[in-house]
């Protein structure tokens, strides 16, 4: 099943040299909106009962690759606004603007979700900024994930996120 999906991704020319490892397809793809090549991971969430939704997975990959620069800027603006709203007027040590610091590291595609993983080496040197897109490829959810942790860090409130962002180690 997964080999068929990999072959379809290759045939469509979406991901360069897609490989399969542990039930996940991975490779690199160029996102024209940011003029960068990033890692793509496609997780069909295989189980014994259900075949992968090839059309949904291909649609999700195509959707991210088809984002134009305007759509990309809207996503970035929403990410920056959400994080800056959480910080508010609290003093921060880093002066690099978050928008300038965010760099897309990878994309993870599921049949029902697309995740963008950003690095922000100045603002969040030990964390990822993980963004979930909805079906229209707009911001649905945002989480800060420790780089050495497998699960995203969740915050009960914006105050909790603010405390996390402004604490000094």
Give domain limits for the chain. Answer: 1-169
* Tens-digit pLDDT profile for residues 81-98: 998 888 776 666 667 888
For the chain, give the percent of residues with pLDDT over 90.
56
Residue 155 has pLDDT above 80, yes or no: no
What Å distances lie between residue 97 and 19, 20, 62, 120, CA to CA?
Answer: 36, 37, 30, 10
Q: 3-12, 29-38, 70-79, 84-93: lowest mean pLDDT where?
A: 84-93
Tokens of 79: 């990410």
């Amino acid at each position: 099943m997964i080999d068929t999906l990999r072959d379809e991704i290759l045939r469509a020319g979406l991901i360069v040299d897609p490989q399969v490892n542990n039930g996940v397809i991975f490779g690199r793809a160029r996102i024209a909106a940011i003029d960068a090549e990033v890692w793509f991971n496609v997780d069909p969430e295989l189980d014994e009962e259900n075949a992968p939704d090839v059309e949904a997975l291909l649609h999700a990959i195509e959707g991210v690759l088809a984002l134009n620069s305007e759509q990309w800027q809207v996503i970035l603006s929403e990410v920056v606004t959400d994080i800056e709203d959480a910080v508010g007027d609290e003093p921060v040590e880093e002066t690099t603007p978050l928008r300038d610091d965010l760099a897309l590291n990878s994309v993870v595609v599921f049949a029902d979700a697309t995740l963008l993983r950003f690095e922000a080496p100045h603002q969040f040197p030990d964390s990822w900024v993980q963004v979930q897109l909805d079906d229209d490829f707009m911001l649905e959810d945002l989480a800060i994930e420790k780089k050495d942790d497998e699960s995203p860090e969740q915050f009960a409130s914006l105050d909790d996120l603010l405390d996390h962002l402004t604490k000094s180690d």
